[in-house]
Each structure stands twice: as structure tokens, then as C-alpha cells.
């Protein structure tokens, strides 16, 4: 028991460091995937067949394969197949590769949610804007967009909460996020080895963070309740 008390601050310190990496991956993924998803959504809604088909094909590949495999491909493909290891061997390279894989993956999921959101706004809204002499651009930004956001908040919230936990997949390319940090104590780290309990502790981090995310998302959803 004494050793546990001694080990605890060491473990917490290591988990904190790992969790910062987790948070960075989480935020950058959202930052990249929100706008990229919109571009992909417009691609899949395009009237030009070549664009919409290509987009649907990409979405099929990304949604049809495990994110874990996508991480491996993004990280190893340039070095092993193209003999051009653009990521380097360090943590920053692994982080960049992981971020790119996550952004592409989540952008595809977001794009499908956006597409549903755009299509669910009644066509009468667009027509009302048109007969008032508004441009398509004005209609999108001043009429359709907020109605679409209101409709997509619940499904997007689901994805965001999943993303918090999905960041653990970056462990597969040895990104030093919180699972990696917890697992290190099994093999030996900071003079502690064979300890599995630090890994259990990581669950608390995810749980607390997702609690905060849930509260913030619910708050945002309520802010859009002023209209129907």
C-alpha cells in the first residue's frame, strides 16, 4: 500500500502528460474535420457526376475500413512503400500523421451528417430566399446554415464523444497519448513495472472529459432552442 501511495504521483504525472497529447489530437481533429467535412458534403451533393461519385467513393473507403488501419497506412505507407519517410521517427511526426488520419476519417463521417442536415432543411426556405432576390450564397449563410446546425447538433455530439475515446487508437503508431502512458507502466516506466492499475485510471480521464464535453454540447443545443 505504501508503494501505491508513492507511485501515485508518478503515475498521475505521466498520465497527465499523455492526456495533453490526447487533448491536442482531439481538438486539432475537430478543428480540421469540421470545415473539411463541409467541403466533402458539398462534393457529395454536387450536380457534376464525376465529383459526387468520387466523393462517395472516398467516403465509402474511409467509412468502410477501420480507423486503426488508416492510421497505420498514413504513418507507414510513405516510408515503406514510397521510400520517403516524410513523418520522421519522432513523436512530432507520429502526432502529425495521427492528426491527418483522424481529420480525414472524421471529416467523412461529419460530411454525411452535414449532407443529411442540408437536405433536411425544407426546399421552401431556399425558394422563399430566391423570390426575395437573395443570392444562393446569402441563402446558405443567412437562412439555411443555422437551421442545418440546429438539426445536426445531436448526431455531431455523438461523433464528438466517440472521438474522445477514438484518440486511443493512435496508440497503434505509438503516439504517446494517455493509453500509451498508462500501458508503459506494465512494461516498465519511471521505475514501475508490471502495474496494470494505471491503465484503469485512464478511464477516469476519459469519463471526466466526456462529462465536460456533454455538458457543453447540451448547453449549445439549448442555445438553439429559441427557434423551431
Partner 1 sequence: MPILEVKNLRKSFGNVEVLKGIDFTLEKGEALSIIGSSGSGKTTLLRCLNFLERPDNGSIIVNGETLLDCSDPSTLSDSQIRKKRLHFGLVFQSFNLFPQYTAIQNVVLAPKLLAKENHTWEKIKYDLYDEAFDIFKEIGLTARKDNYPHQLSGGQQQRVAIARALIMHPDILCFDEPTSALDPELTGEVLKVIRELSVQKTTMIIVTHEMEFARDVANHVIFMDNGVICEQGNPLEVFNNPKEERTKQFLSRYSHK
> Residues 6 or more apart from 227 whose CB is under 8 A from it?
150
Considering beta carbons, is residue 63 or 142 the nearer one to partner 1?
A: 142
Beta bridge partners of 189: 192
Under the binding rule (CB under 8 A), the answer on residue 117 touching partner 1 is no
Under the binding rule (CB under 8 A), the answer on residue 223 touching partner 1 is no
Strands (E), the chain: none
Binding-site size for partner 1 (CB under 8 A) equals 21
Beta bridge partners of 192: 189
Instruction: Round to whole Å and give the CA distance between 58 and 105.
Output: 10
Under the binding rule (CB under 8 A), the answer on residue 127 touching partner 1 is yes
Task: Select from 37, 129, 182, 198 the one that contacts partner 1 (CB under 8 A).
Answer: 129
Task: Select from 1, 49, 191, 226 the one that contacts partner 1 (CB under 8 A).
Answer: 226
Considering beta carbons, is residue 80 or 128 the nearer one to partner 1?
A: 128
Task: Select from 17, 84, 119, 138 the one that contacts partner 1 (CB under 8 A).
Answer: 138
Instruction: Classify residue 141 by its DSSP letter.
Output: I
Under the binding rule (CB under 8 A), the answer on residue 128 touching partner 1 is yes
Considering only 44-52, 67-75, 143-151, 171-179, which stretch makes contact with partner 1 by CB under 8 A? 143-151
Under the binding rule (CB under 8 A), the answer on residue 124 touching partner 1 is yes
Considering beta carbons, is residue 16 or 135 the nearer one to partner 1?
A: 135
Under the binding rule (CB under 8 A), the answer on residue 143 touching partner 1 is yes
Of 88, 65, 90, residue with least CA distance to 78: 88
Under the binding rule (CB under 8 A), the answer on residue 119 touching partner 1 is no
Instruction: Classify residue 194 by its DSSP letter.
Output: S
CA 156 centroid distance within chain: 10
Contact between residue 45 and residue 52 where contact means Cβ atoms under 8 Å apart = yes
Residue recorded with cell 423570390: 131
Instruction: Round to whole Å and give the CA distance between 177 and 201.
Output: 14
Residues of span 28-67 touching partner 1 by CB under 8 A: none
Residues near partner 1 (CB under 8 A): 122, 124-125, 127-135, 138, 142-143, 146-147, 150, 226-228
Amino acid at each position: 500500500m505504501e508503494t501505491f501511495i508513492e507511485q501515485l504521483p508518478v503515475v498521475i504525472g505521466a498520465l497527465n502528460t499523455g492526456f495533453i497529447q490526447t487533448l491536442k489530437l482531439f481538438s486539432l481533429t475537430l478543428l480540421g474535420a469540421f470545415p473539411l467535412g463541409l467541403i466533402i458534403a458539398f462534393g457529395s451533393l454536387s450536380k457534376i457526376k464525376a465529383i459526387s461519385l468520387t466523393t462517395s467513393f472516398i467516403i465509402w473507403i474511409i467509412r468502410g475500413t477501420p480507423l486503426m488501419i488508416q492510421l497505420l497506412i498514413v504513418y507507414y505507407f510513405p516510408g515503406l512503400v514510397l521510400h520517403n519517410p516524410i513523418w520522421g521517427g519522432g513523436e512530432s511526426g507520429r502526432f502529425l500523421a495521427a492528426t491527418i488520419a483522424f481529420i480525414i476519417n472524421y471529416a467523412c463521417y461529419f460530411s454525411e451528417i452535414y449532407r443529411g442536415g442540408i437536405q433536411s432543411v425544407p426546399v421552401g426556405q431556399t425558394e422563399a430566399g430566391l423570390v426575395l432576390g437573395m443570392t444562393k450564397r446569402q441563402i446558405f449563410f443567412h437562412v439555411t446554415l443555422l437551421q442545418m446546425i440546429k438539426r445536426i447538433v445531436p448526431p455531431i455530439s455523438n461523433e464528438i464523444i466517440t472521438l474522445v475515446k477514438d484518440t486511443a487508437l493512435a496508440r497503434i503508431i505509438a503516439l504517446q497519448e494517455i493509453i500509451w502512458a498508462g500501458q508503459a507502466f506494465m512494461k516498465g516506466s519511471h521505475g514501475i513495472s508490471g502495474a496494470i492499475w494505471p491503465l484503469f485510471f485512464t478511464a477516469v480521464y476519459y469519463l471526466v472529459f466526456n462529462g465536460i464535453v456533454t455538458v457543453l454540447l447540451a448547453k449549445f443545443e439549448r442555445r438553439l432552442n429559441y427557434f423551431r
